[in-house]
Structure 1
Amino acid sequence: MNQTLRCAASPSLALVKYWGKADGGINLPATTSIAVTISHLETVSQVTLGSDRANEPAADEVFIEGEPQPESRFAPFFAAVREALREDLHFRVESVNTFPTGAGLASSSSGFAALATGCTAVAGRRLSGAELSALARVGSGSAARAVFGGFTRFAAGASFAEQIADENHWPELRIVIAVVQRGSKPISSRDAMIRSRDTSPYYADWVSGAQSLAEQAETALVNRDLDTLGRAMRQSYLRMFSTMFTAEPPVIFWLPESVAVIRACEQLRADGISAWETMDAGPQVKVLTTAKHTAQVCDRLHRENPSGELLVVGVGSGPRLLGTGAATASTSA
C-alpha cells in the first residue's frame, strides 16, 4: 500500500522584497529579502509516495484544488527531491489553499514549503532547516523562507533562507490583508519578474539599493520598531513596482481599490496610527499594524473598499504534519 500523509504550510510575506534571480542556480535571489510567515492561511497537501514498481505511479502528479498541474512546473522540484533523498521515488500530491490561489498572496511559497516537508516526511527522512529550505527553493524562491516560522532572511545569492526570530518574537504584530480581487493574476510572478529584469531601465538600481533596505528592516524587526520597519517596507515595494511599471510591456497589478487602501494607510498614519502597507506581485494590499490598532485599521479599510474582504492574521509557525487523510481547506486554523 502506498504511504500517504498530509502537511500544512503558511505563506511567507516579504517585507523587503525578493525580486529578480541571480545566476548560478535555480531561484537564487538577486536581492536580500526579509519576511514574516503568516498565521491562519495555509496550503494543505496530501502526499502519496509511490515508486516505479508495478501498480504504483510511475510519474509525479500534482493537483491543486482538484485541477491537474503542468508537469513542467514541478519537474525540477521533484528531481531535486530524488537527488536529496538518493532514491527513485515518485509522488502524487493533492493540495488545497484556504485563501485565493495565484492572486498575489504567496501561494507558491506555502505550496512548495508543504511539498518539501511532505515529500521528505512521507519518505521517512528528516532534513535540516537549511536542507529543507534549499529544497523548497527549487520550486519557488519564496518557499525557501516558508519552511520556517516567524521571521526570515533570504540573502542575495544564497541557496537557503535563515530564521531571524521565531513566531513568539513579536506577538502583538498583526497583518491586515485587503483582498481586492480573488481571481488569478493576468501574469505569474515568475514571468513578471523575468520581464522586469530583462526590460526595465530601473532594474539595476533596484538591485543595488535592496541590501540597504534589508539591513534597515532586519534591525527594526529585531527591535520591534514598526515605524522604522514600515518605512523600509514602503520603499522596497514601491521600488520593486517601479521595475514593473517600466518593463516592456508594463506589468500593472494595481487596481483602483489597491490605491484606495494605500491612501487609507497614509491617512491612518497622519492620524497617529501605525499602519504600513506592502504589496507583492498582485493587487492585494497587506497592512502591518499592532493588535491595539487592528480594529481601527479594519474600520478605515472597510470604509474605503466596502466590497473588499479583510483577513486579519498574525505571525505564523513553520510547516506541520497532520497525519493521514484527504487534504481539505477546513484544516486551517
Structure 2
Amino acid sequence: MTEIDFVPSAYTADREEGSVTWQAPSNIALIKYWGKRGNQIPANPSLSFTLNKCLTTTTVSYKKLSSRSDNFSFDLLFDDLPKEDFKPKIKSFFVKIEEYMPFLKDYHFLINTSNTFPHSSGIASSASGMAALALCLMDIERVLNLSADEDFFKRKASFLARLGSGSACRSIDGEIITWGIHKAIATSSDLYAVKYSDEVHKVFKNYRDTILLVHKGQKQVSSTLGHNLMHNHPFAAQRFNQAHENLVKLKSVLASGDLEGFVAIVEQEALTLHAMMMTSSPYFVLMMPNTLKIINAIWDFRKASKTHLCFTLDAGANVHLLYPKNEAAEVLQFIKDELVVYCENGQYICDEIGIGAKKL
C-alpha cells in the first residue's frame, strides 16, 4: 500500500455528535528503531513485544461545528484535568494527518486521556497515547465511511499513529509486531506496522516484562532529538545493517525457542541503542548509576541461577526485565531481594505480552 490508499473518498454517512473510547498498550522493542528519514520513515526495521498492562485510555467526544473551521478545534484533558502543554503535539499530529482524516475541521473534539504508568519516563507513553488517539479517530471515520473493513482499519490506524510517534504504529496490534521494510518479512512496510506472522515457539507466547522504574521524571533528551542525531552519525550505516542482521537472527530464535540466543540479541540491541547516543554529536548518557547496577546484578544472577532473565532499555534509564513465564517466581524473588533498592521509591511494574488495543 502507499500513502494515497489512506486518503478517503467522499464520506457516505454523517454524524452530529458522539463519543468513543479506546485503550492502547505500550510496546517494547527487541530490535530497536533508531533514526528516521522523511515523514516518520524508519531508518531500519524493528520488532517489538506488545505489552498488556502499560496502557493509555483515551476518550474522544466530538460534536459537529455549525460550519467547517479554518483551524482544529479541540480541548485536551489528562487525568480529567486540562493539559495545555500537550496541545501543541496534538495540533501538530492533526496537521500531519488532515489529508487522511478530512473530517477533522468539521468537529470540535474533547480528548480525555490517562496512563497506567508514568508519562515521559522511557516507557513509550507517546506510543500508547498516539495509538489510542489514532484508533478513536479511525472509529469516528468508520461511522462516516461504513465500508472500512477490520484489516484496513488496523492498517490505517497504525499508519496514522506513526505520524504522531514512530513507535506508536507498533501499539495497535499484538503480540509480536514488526515495522519497517525487511526482505525476510514479505508483508513488512515503512508506512505501518504488521503482526509478526512467522513461527513463534510456545516459550515466547507468554513472556514477562517487569519494568524497573529507575527514574520516573522527564527524559534527558526527547526521542525526536535522539533520532535526529543519527543523521551524519559516524556509525549509523553499521547500526542499520546490524538491525537488519539481528532481525534475521531473531526470526530463527523465535521459531526455535532458543532462549540463550534471545538473551544475546536483545541485550546487544539495548546496549547498541545507548552506544549510539553516547557517540553522537552532541552526546548523551541516558543510563543512570542504578541502571548499570541493575544490569550487572542481572548478569550475576543469570550466571548463578541458570535462568534466562535478560534486560532491554528504551531511550531512558528504566530497565525492562524479560523472562519466560516458567521462571517468573525465581525472577520476582530476585527483584524483591536485590533490584527494588535501585528503583525510585521502590516502584516497578509487572507486565507481560499482550494482544493489542481494544475498544471500551
Query: When the two structures are superposed, what TM-score results if normalisation uses the length of structure 1?
Result: 0.87
1:113 maps onto 2:138 in alignment: no
TM alignment of 1:126-205, pairs within 5 A: 126=148, 127-156=152-181, 158-165=190-197, 170-195=204-229, 197-198=230-231, 200-205=233-238
Per-residue deviation, 1:146: 0.6
Distance in 1, matches of 2:213 and 2:332, equals 12
Bigger mean CA offset, 114-123 vs 282-291 = 114-123
Per-residue deviation, 1:81: 4.3
Equivalent pair of 1:82/1:89 in contact (CA under 8 Å): no
SS at structure 1 position matched to 2:178 = strand
Equivalent pair of 1:47/1:93 in contact (CA under 8 Å): yes
SS at structure 2 position matched to 1:92 = strand
2:354 matched residue in structure 1: 316
Bigger mean CA offset, 170-179 vs 285-294 = 170-179
Distance in 1, matches of 2:222 and 2:110, equals 24
In structure 1, the gaps of 5 or more residues are 323-333
Q: Report the residue type matching 1:30 in the other structure.
A: A
Bigger mean CA offset, 152-161 vs 198-207 = 198-207
Per-residue deviation, 1:29: 0.5
1:7 matched residue in structure 2: 22
Higher CA-based Rg: 2
Q: Report the residue type matching 1:53 in the other structure.
A: S
Per-residue deviation, 1:71: 4.0
Per-residue deviation, 1:307: 5.2
Distance in 2, matches of 1:128 and 1:42, equals 20
Deviations 1:51-93 (A, max 9, x none): 4326999523333343223444223432454432442444331
Distance in 1, matches of 2:62 and 2:120, equals 26
1:78 matched residue in structure 2: 94
2:42 matched residue in structure 1: 29
Per-residue deviation, 1:236: 1.2
Bigger mean CA offset, 100-109 vs 119-128 = 119-128
1:304 maps onto 2:339 in alignment: yes
Deviations 1:240-265 (A, max 9, x none): 11110012222211011111111122
**RMSD of the alignment, in Å?**
2.5
Distance in 2, matches of 1:175 and 1:64, equals 26
SS at structure 2 position matched to 1:11 = strand
1:59 maps onto 2:92 in alignment: no
Distance in 2, matches of 1:70 and 1:241, equals 27
Query: When the two structures are superposed, what TM-score results if normalisation uses the length of structure 2?
Result: 0.81
Q: Report the residue type matching 1:68 in the other structure.
A: E
SS at structure 2 position matched to 1:50 = strand
**Equivalent of 2:35 in 12, 15, 20:** 20
Per-residue deviation, 1:232: 1.1
Q: How many residues end up aligned between the 2 structures?
A: 319
